[in-house]
Amino acid sequence: MPAKFWIAALCTLAGPAFAGDDYGLGRTASPQEIAGWNIDIAPDGTGLPAGRGSVARGAEIFAGKCAACHGAHGEGKPMDTLAGGAGTINTVKPLKTVGSYWPYATTLFDFVRRAMPFDAPQSLTNDEVYAVSAYVLWLNQIVPKDADLDARTLPQIVMPNRANFVSGYPSRPSQP
Amino acid sequence: MKLRERLDATDGRPSVTRASRREVLAAALGLAAAGALGDAKAAGEDADSPPNVPPWQKQPGASVMSPPYGQPSPFEAGVIRRARNNSPPSPTPQASISLTPLQDLHGIITPNGLHYERHHAGVPAIDPSQHRLLIHGLVDRPMIFTMGEIMRFPSVSRLHFLECSGNTQNWGKPSPTQTVQDTHGLLSCCEWTGVPLKTVLEAVGVKTSARWMLAEGADAAAMTRSIPIEKAFDDALLAYAQNGERLRPEQGYPLRLLLPGFEGNTSVKWLRRLKFGEAPWQTREETSKYSWLMPDGSARQFNFVMEAKSVITSPSGGQRLDGPGFHEISGLAWSGRGRIARVEVSADGGNTWSDAALQEPVLPKCLTRFRSPWRWQGEAAQLASRCTDETGVVQPSHETLLQQRDARSYYHYNAIQNWRVGVDGAVTHAG
């Protein structure tokens, strides 16, 4: 049989059979499977779970699970400083903390839940994450001492440095 | 250069820098003590050179598969990753860096065991049979893939560099003893094999309202970054192999995202989840970290592209020229925007420049090796390289870069690197 025939036949097979979604690989993810991993929080609060936490409860948890690395009052050492630094960002010696630098309070909940404590990530309950977030925000004088945070109140917090964040995307080459 | 001098010049580990050639050889042969090579010692360092016939020619060598996974010669034991000299040790070695020994590498490929590391919560030990990739959010069909399924998709292999966003901290006064491993070692280049992300995304059907993609790792930091949808459908790769073998654990085994030309942090390792949405998620790694604090006090986020940059790797900091005469200047150039078009080299601190030869292949978003002949007359010199990419971006000088931003921006330092050569041949870091 002429080679041309086979080439034509193969092209016919290869075209539609392997286009787009026709590989037949993978399976539909169930809502339960997605829920177990769907832990991200958007700046508008999308993804925040049920639950609540107070500054007072957060202080207890922080003392036991966070202070060893971040200092009793978030002053840092050996790890990141969490509190203070207000007014230092636009100086020669900026002190970047949750209060002085971070643009969104939702990031605090998201990061603590996924990555903290360093030696036991994803071990805190949602109530505990709300409480620790409240405590760190109180250390930065962003929420009052009687604050009680939940999915409704956390995204309403306006972080002091929020307006100074700008996007570099899409970027243009910088010419000397 | 003799072996011992070379080890001294290039290796940061005292235990190896102090090892004599005989000790290394003894270790290689599994001898209990260097004294077993007594004859060689008595005859001096060149006892195994002509006219003498060395012992390794007088008996058969090691068997095949010794070991089954081959290792470098023991004489290369100093060619290893290490922490940065003159930097305080990280309080958490799981959330730290290790640097590629660029001064000891040839061509453009980084051996897998020498690829730089940057982890945020250690290297997870993932069973590939248990690993899953979940794709959901603004898609027609949220789907889960096993590694076996991902590896059945049509695959591609591409050579690309990865550079950590924080590579090269030359903002301030240079520390003269730093080597190119210290200054530029958060840079590596591999052949990556995997599935074009676009292929898999076409299978799940990403909705037109989706503008950003969240990539999440399966490490203990569940590291996340928001990626523009344009990149996801451009040259993003779901990579499962590097340089011919499956990914090393520290490079994301069994699956990583690879975003050619973007800052290394966005090529999320141990990739477990991709979620599509309308706006960035503002994760910790794109707000608190990996943002540039600008001179006006603003914080610039989403600075993805690693701009045109080059560095001379030989001669480079910590090395010593072993006498006047011919020395080849050799180095690496790269750009996150495409191919390298030109590299110029200066031996007089940037007063005069001449074009270096570019070694093929010259590939987009890949390291390019450049070389330039140099005859050193024994005078004090200052070596520098300057590259231009195919989009016309020219690598800036330190002064030019500092007109745009300063040390407070921390990330993406891409200015020209200078190495000072003393009259004694010693090469030092000159910023």
* A165/B283 touch (CB, cutoff 8 Å), yes or no: no
Tens-digit pLDDT profile for residues A24-74 = 999 999 999 999 999 999 999 999 999 999 999 999 999 999 999 999 999
Amino acid at B195: V
Provide the β-strand partners of residue B386.
Answer: B344
Q: Name which of B120, B291, B337 is nearest A173 (Cβ-Cβ).
A: B337
d(CA A43, CA A109): 10
Mutation pick from A108, A111, A113 vs chain B, by most beta carbons of B within 10 Å, is: A111
CA distance B260 to chain A (A): 15
- Per-residue 3-state assignment (H helix, E strand, C coil) for A77-144: CCCCCCCCCCCCCCCCCCCCCCCCCCCCHHHHHHHHHHHCCCCCCCCCCHHHHHHHHHHHHHHCCCCC
Query: What is the DSSP code (8-state) at residue A32?
Result: H
Instruction: Please judge whether B283 and A111 are an interchain contact, meaning their C-beta atoms are less than 8 angstroms apart.
Output: yes
Interface residue of B94, B219, B284 to substitute, partner A, most A CBs within 10 Å:
B284
pLDDT at B90: 87
Cross-chain Cβ contact A25/B408 below 8 Å: no
* DSSP, res A175: P
What pLDDT band is residue A17 in, cutting at 50, 70 and 90?
very low
Contact A169 B304 (CB under 8 A): yes
Whether pLDDT at B130 is above 90: yes
Can you say whether residue B222 is alpha, beta or left, with left for phi > 0 and alpha for psi between -120 and 50 degrees? left
- Which amino acid would we find at residue B266? T
Other C-beta atoms lying within 10 Å of the C-beta of residue A20 = 10
Domain count across chain A = 1
State the angle between helix axes of A105-115 and A126-139 in degrees (0 to 180), rounded to the nearest 10: 130
Per the prediction, chain B carries an average pLDDT of 91
Residue B245 has a pLDDT of 98
Domain annotation covers residue A69: yes
Average pLDDT over residues B177-191: 98
- Indicate whether A134 belongs to any domain: yes
Smallest CA-to-CA distance from A138 within A77, A62, A87 is with: A62
Position A36 in a domain: no
Tracing tokens 């959901």 back to the chain, one arrives at B136
Using a CB–CB cutoff of 8 Å, tell me whether A32 touches chain B.
no
Q: For residue A170, is the peptide bond before it cis, meaning its omega torsion is within 30 degrees of 0?
A: yes
CB pairs under 8 A between A and B: 170
Instruction: At B418, list the tokens.
Output: 């200078």
Direct distance between the N- and C-terminal alpha carbons of chain A, in angstroms, rounded to an integer:
63
Mutation target for A interface from B144, B201, B335: give the one with most A CBs within 10 A: B144
Q: Which residue has the tokens 């235990």?
A: B15
A23–B contact, CB cutoff 8 A: yes
- Candidates B96, B227, B255, B281: best to mutate against A (most CBs of A within 10 A) is B281
- Is residue B228 within 8 Å of residue B212, measured between CB atoms? yes
Q: Which fold has domain B309-429?
A: Immunoglobulin-like (2.60.40)
| B277 against B9, higher pLDDT | B277
CA distance B251 to chain A (A): 19
Chain A hits for B146, CB-CB cut-off 8 Å, are 26
Q: Which of B134, B230, B287 sits opposite A29 (nearest CB)?
A: B134
Min Cα distance A83 → chain B (Å) is: 13
Residues from chain A contacting residue B141 (CB–CB below 8 Å): 28
pLDDT of residue B2: 41
CA distances from A7 to A10, A14, A18, B204, B367 (A): 5, 10, 16, 30, 38
Whether chain B has a CB inside 8 Å of the CB on A14: the answer is: no
Q: Domain coordinates of chain B in residue numbers? A: 1-44, 117-166+191-300, 309-429
| Distance from C-alpha of B374 to C-alpha of B226, rounded to nearest angstrom | 46
Topology at the third CATH level for domain B117-166+191-300: Sulfite Oxidase; Chain A, domain 2 (3.90.420)
- Which of A64-68, B73-77, B90-94, B249-253 is the least confident region? B90-94
Beta bridge partners of B193: B157, B241
Q: Is the pLDDT of residue B335 over 90?
A: yes
Q: Does A114 touch chain B (CB under 8 A)?
A: yes
How high is the pLDDT of residue A172?
A: 62
* Res. B165 pLDDT band, cuts 50 70 90: very high
For residue A173, what are the CA distances in angstroms to B259, B298, B336, B391, B401?
Answer: 18, 19, 10, 8, 13
Nearest Cα neighbor of B356 from B373, B381, B335 is B373
Please, which pLDDT band fits residue B88 given cuts at 50, 70 and 90? confident
Which pLDDT band, with edges at 50, 70 and 90, does A173 fall under? low
Give the pLDDT band of residue A170 (cuts 50, 70, 90). Answer: confident
- Which residues 121-150 in chain B show a CB within 8 A of chain A? 121, 134-136, 141-146, 149-150
Of A26, A42, A125, give the one whose Cα is nearest residue B137.
A42
Q: With b meaning 16 or more CB within 10 Å and e meaning fewer, what string describes B144-173? A: bbbbebbbebebeebbbbbbbbbbbbbbee
| Tokens read off for B265 | 């942090």
For residue B13, give how far its alpha carbon lies from the nearest alpha carbon of chain A (Å). 26
CA distance B120 to B118: 7
| Among B residues 228-267, those touching chain A with beta carbons less than 8 Å apart | 228, 230
Between positions 160 and 219 of B, the ones with CB within 8 A of A are 199-200, 202-205, 214, 216
Mark yes or no for CB contact B287/A107 under 8 Å.
yes
Residue A24 lies in a domain: no
Q: What are phi and psi of B305, to 5 degrees?
A: -80, 130
Q: From the CB of residue B17, how many other CB atoms can be counted at a distance below 10 Å?
A: 14
CATH number at residue A125: 1.10.760.10
CB atoms A171 and B154 under 8 Å: no
Residue A59: DSSP 8-state: H
- Tens-digit pLDDT profile for residues B15-56: 333 334 434 444 444 433 333 344 444 446 789 999 999 999
Domain range for A93 is: 53-160
Instruction: Please provide the average confidence, as pLDDT, over all residues in chain A.
Output: 89
- Which residue, B170, B194, B195, is CA-closest to B182? B170
- 3-state SS, chain B, equals CCHHHHHHHHCCCHHHHCCCHHHHHHHHCCCCCHHHHHHHHHHCCCCCCCCCCCHHHCCCCCCCCCCCCCCCCHHHCCCCCECCCCCCCCCCCCCCEEECCHHHCCCCCCCHHHCCEECCCCCCCCCCCCCEEEEEECECCCEEEEHHHHCCCCCEEEEEEEECCCCCCCCCCCCCCCCHHHHHCCEEEEEEEEEEHHHHHHHHCECCCCCEEEEEECCCCCCEEEEEHHHHCCCCEEEEEECCEECCHHHCCCCEEECCCECHHHCCCCEEEEEEECCCCCCHHHCCCCCEECCCCCEEECCCECCCEEEEEECCCCCECCCCEEEEEEEEEECCCCCEEEEEEECECCCCCEECEECCCCCCCCCEEEEEEEEECCCCEEEEEEEEECCCCECCCHHHHHHHCCHHHCCCCCCCCEEEECCCCEEEECC
When pLDDT is cut at 50, 70 and 90, the band that residue A164 belongs to is very high
- Residue B407 makes CB contacts below 8 A (sequence gap 6+) with B171, B172
